[in-house]
Structure 1
Amino acid sequence: MPVSTRSSQPMIEPNGDFMFKPISSWEHSIEVTMEDVSYLSRPFGLTENVDAKLGIETSDLYNDMLERQTDYVSAQTYSPTASYIPYRRYLVDWMSDVGEQCSLHTTTVHVSILFLDKIFRSADIPRNKWQLLATACLSVAAKYEEAEEHCPPIPDLLKLTKLSQVGHTSLSFREGEVEVLRLLGWRLRAVPPLHVIGYYLAKGSIFEADRWQGKELIEKIPKYIKKYAEFFCNLTLQEYSFQQYLPTQLAAAILYASRVSLQITPRWRPELEVLTGYEEKDIIPLFNHVWEYYEEQFPGHGARSISPRSVAGKEFQ
């Protein structure tokens, strides 16, 4: 549903719960210069140290994402003229719906779509195999990303997707999975922006020296940032043109858009530059693309607002 960019005040219900205020136009966000905030500030709202909790140096995981991200997405592999592109949005919608019905994590669906994009841009897949391979991508992604007990059984997938009605069996579906693995070169470590956003949020994406509409941050701001970041990740998943950007850089632009949406100032910080490896000038062009696509998808949104439930992604599939 359309989303407003005009209101300047958040909406707080009488019970203290937050309803997402309309996203304000980024051109009119409150300006705060770097001199107005401390150069170094502690993350706001983090209740635990993720490195200590996991017993690892999570920056190593980020370095691994930086190294592996081009396996699936890069300017060199970007192929906007691939024959399936006019139908891609329908495939994304359909796979998202199947993933939701199977109770798969959103990250699993994002990974499965990266699988599909890599296969479809590098091989000529007959139309009569699209549904089989799309479902097989979901199944392979689930087996790689989910706990074993959360992976949907093949008979359930065949019934849900109605593949059984066109003659597919568990054996033919397994052959479809093997074909997916072969076409992917058995390299299954895909890095969607949603994975990267999870790292950014866990390490701290807002800071004590930040301001929300010129005021001190409130307790639920980290929750709002997470919801907006997930919304923009789901939104950009729909459009293939965002695959011309590195996932880590797009994730940084999505974090930037989330801060702008909530009128967190300054828009970018030295701490975020250290965290992401990107300066503000590196991500402004991507942010502009994200924001323009958002406004294109929700025209005439000046009189409406979005709720936390809507930005979770369900209503934007």
Structure 2
Amino acid sequence: MLESEPLGAPVPACRSGSPRLAERLPGLSEPPGLEEALSTLGLEGERAYAQDIFTEVMVCRALPRRALPRTVTPEMRALVVDWLVQVHEYLGLVGDTLYLAVHLLDSYLCACKVRLRRLQLLGVACLFVACKMEECVLPESTSLCLLGAGSFSRAELLRAERRLLSRLDFRLHHPGPLPCLGLQAALAGSNPQELLLATYFLELSLLEAEAAAWEPGRRAAAALSLAHRVLGGTGSGPKLALYSSAELGALERRMARAALRGPAPGRAAVFLKYARPQRQGTSLTAARLLRHHPPGPP
């Protein structure tokens, strides 16, 4: 088992209707190009629900700003997330699975203490549950145990899964920043290169413990804005008037620093993943552009 001790009330996986963003939505009851953006995303048949989709995706609260349990440092958390990125890529899972797995990990860490020796088991349990939410074909639990190099058994994984579901009260739905990025990029008319670079910046943010307290929409907006400016885009970058430059600035700087850090020990998986030809060497391009042409203030 995870041998965890509760810290407080169950943490919902997603709390829709963020007051700060919701109060801005009346002015965006019909964002320009929303129906066309949905068509770009393959949702032509959902135009009647365009505003509902926009609200569901964009208005989702972040997790509470709570410190990690004393037994888990940001570096330890980054090691587990870095390993999850490798497993996720090895198994060929969809992008939403990775983001949901990390969200479940952070949700559990917000609510419970976890013994350090069980942190990897918790990560695998989060990935296993995320697969059941997002994947059409599930990886075998025994395969996940083998990827853990024998550090836990199938029975331990299933017990950890039950503990995770119980502690989160089965509240697993979470739109996450990846759908936010896709919607914002479609609304902004971003080109494929900008979207790929923004996806890289967004995935780098998974390694940051503080990212759990960043609203998914704001994190996606920061990644897209930074990609736009790094590639030489004019103006302050694409935005939906939900976030000011000041709200995006700190996030952009964190993403830029992470991209410049390169394949640091324990944080190399995302950089190496996006350095491959299949992803056009995006991480190498990002580091080069940031070194020689750092973006100005947002």
Q: Distance in 1 between matches of 2:141 and 2:263?
A: 37
Match of 1:116 in 2: 105
Contact 2:121/2:157 (<8 A) preserved: yes
d(CA) in 2 for partners of 1:93 and 1:140?
18
Question: Residue type matched to 2:46 in 1?
Answer: G
How many angstroms apart in 2 are the aligned matches of 1:167 and 1:122? 23
* CA gap 1:54/1:123 in 2 versus in 1, 3 angstroms: same
Instruction: Note if 1:230 corresponds to 2:199.
Output: yes
Q: 1:4 corresponds to which residue?
A: none
- Is the CA contact (8 Å cut-off) linking 1:260 and 1:267 kept in structure 2? yes
Residue in structure 2 matching 1:289, options 241, 245, 254: 254
Change (3 A) 1:90 1:47: closer
Picking from 232, 240, 263, the partner of 1:273 is 240
Q: Is there any run of 5+ residues in structure 2 with no aligned partner, and where?
A: 1-30, 265-274, 288-298
Residue identity in the other structure for 1:176: A
Aligned counterparts of 2:90 and 2:81: Cα–Cα separation in 1: 14
Structure 1 segment 143-158 matched on structure 2, within 5 A: 143-147=132-136, 149=137, 151-158=138-145
After superposition, the C-alpha distances for 1:208-265 in whole angstroms (9 at most, x for unaligned) are xxxxxxxxxxxxxx11011101110111111112333212112111110010111111
- 1:63 matched residue in structure 2: 55
Distance 1:41 1:117, change over 3 A: closer
Partner of 1:137: 126
Correspondence 1:40-55 to 2 at 5 A: 48-50=39-41, 53-55=44-46
Paired AA for residue 172 in structure 1? E
Of 160, 164, 180, the match for 1:180: 164
- For each residue in 1:252-305, what CA deviation from the matched residue of structure 2 results, as whole angstroms up to 9, or x when unmatched? 111100101111112235xx335xx22334323332333344335589xxxxxx
Q: How does 1:1-317 map onto structure 2 within 5 Å?
A: 48-50=39-41, 53-56=44-47, 57-67=49-59, 69-70=60-61, 73-74=62-63, 76-79=64-67, 82-84=70-72, 85-147=74-136, 149=137, 151-162=138-149, 165-166=150-151, 168-169=153-154, 171-206=155-190, 222-268=191-237, 272-274=239-241, 277-297=242-262, 308-311=279-282
Contact 1:98 1:161 in 2 (8 A): no
Give the Å deviation of 1:42.
7.3
Identical-pair percentage: 20
Letter in 2 for 1:273: L
For the Cα contact (< 8 Å) 2:71–2:115, is it kept in 1?
Answer: no
- Mapped contact 1:99–1:109 kept (Cα < 8 A): yes
Which structure is higher in helix share?
Answer: 2
Q: TM-score, normalised by structure 1?
A: 0.66
Deviation string, structure 1 residues 45-64 (Cα, Å, up to 9, x no partner): 98954475242434422311
Which residue pairs with 1:28 in the alignment?
Answer: none
Bigger relative CO (Cα 8 Å, ≥ 6 apart): 1
TM-score (norm 2): 0.69
Residue aligning to 2:21: none
Please, which runs of 5 or more residues in structure 1 have no aligned partner?
Answer: 1-39, 207-221, 300-305
CA distance in 2: counterparts of 1:58 and 1:90, whole angstroms: 39
Q: Point out 4+ residue stretches in structure 1 off by more than 6 angstroms.
A: 40-43
CA distance in 2, matches of 1:266, 1:158: 49
Distance 1:247 1:114 in 2: 11
Distance 1:289-1:158 versus aligned 2 partners, 3 A rule: closer
